[in-house]
Structure 1
Amino acid sequence: MEHTSRWNLTVGQAPTPLLDEHTIEHHRLPDGAGFPPSYLSFVRTFGWGRLHGLWLIYTPVPSGFGDGVVGRGGHLTERLRPGFREGRTEGYDWKIEPDGSWELADRLVVFAMSENGDYLAWDSGSRGRDGELPIFHTTRFDSLTRIGDDLHHAVEWLRVDVNRQDSHPVDFVALIPAAL
């Protein structure tokens, strides 16, 4: 078992990330800038896999693979925005509680999903000087909770939130992205 101190995560065996460098270098989020630095550090260190036994952080995968941040993340973003717009139309203000707004919901970009149907999304309209984007958690597109200013903070929030009852010492299990 290996411990990655920079991320404070233990991994069963060192992952070999399968990444598309062209996407990493050239993909732009809605604000016109690239991926946040903490996200790039995470995907370069770990690649695709299961975090804290539950979370899948989408990576920039090569052509021919699913589970990518652009493809799968884009599809989930396309589902998120209309869901929140419908909530706004219906007057369901509880959908943006405790930390969101309707304007924020329109700026979110999904980059991770739990196996329980929860999602992580960047606020693409609030990039900091360090290039980071605030991260929000949403349960089935029915809430908005700010969980960190970068992926380092979000990973720690997820560790506490998962509150696993098992004593398994591994925080990250590397997986191979699904081929299309």
Structure 2
Amino acid sequence: MAYDRFVAICNPLLYYVILSKKVCFQLVAGSFLCTYVNATVHKCTEFSLSFGHFTVLNHFFCDIHPLQEISCSDFCINKRVHFLFSAIETIGTVFTILISYTYIIFAILRIRSTAGRHKAFSTCASHLTVISFLYGTLIVTYLRPSSGSSMDWEKMVAMSDTLVIPTINLLIYSLRNKEVKDALRRAIHQKIIPRCM
């Protein structure tokens, strides 16, 4: 999406030439490939763990940290591999997004009309809000030192990552739609006006 915004704002006349079906397919395939490699490495390191009789996780779902906590084997190497791959993936994607938005900001600042700048910034604001929430919870979950963190904190962050962020994502992107904004204004107006009378 950052590349899409970059092309739409920095090269609007060449949008359909630059983001052809082939390029879109390559971007999606690259995302799936990176995700597949990352997941495969994590699963291979987890399969090397041995588990005793205690197999109840203190978590909402089967995530890597809770699995390591109930393991009977030494998982120090697994943690390092997990941290390294998570860091590479997170830093790589965040760096790509930051580069795209740096170019976007410079392109927006060259726009002469205030209305044009406002429209361009509002196009990017929803995406930046969503990725800030998403990467914030990912960094807290997977790139933090494990010492001193409680399982309750991890469960709260995991709940935010799986429930709150998709809801916020839906809300943020739907509020960009004019019909949704109008319906929300009418609903709020109907609730407030009868109470005032």
TM over 0.5: no
Query: TM-score scaled by structure 2?
Result: 0.27
Higher strand share: 1
Higher helix share: 2
Query: TM-score scaled by structure 1?
Result: 0.29
RCO comparison, higher one (Cα < 8 Å, 6+)? 1
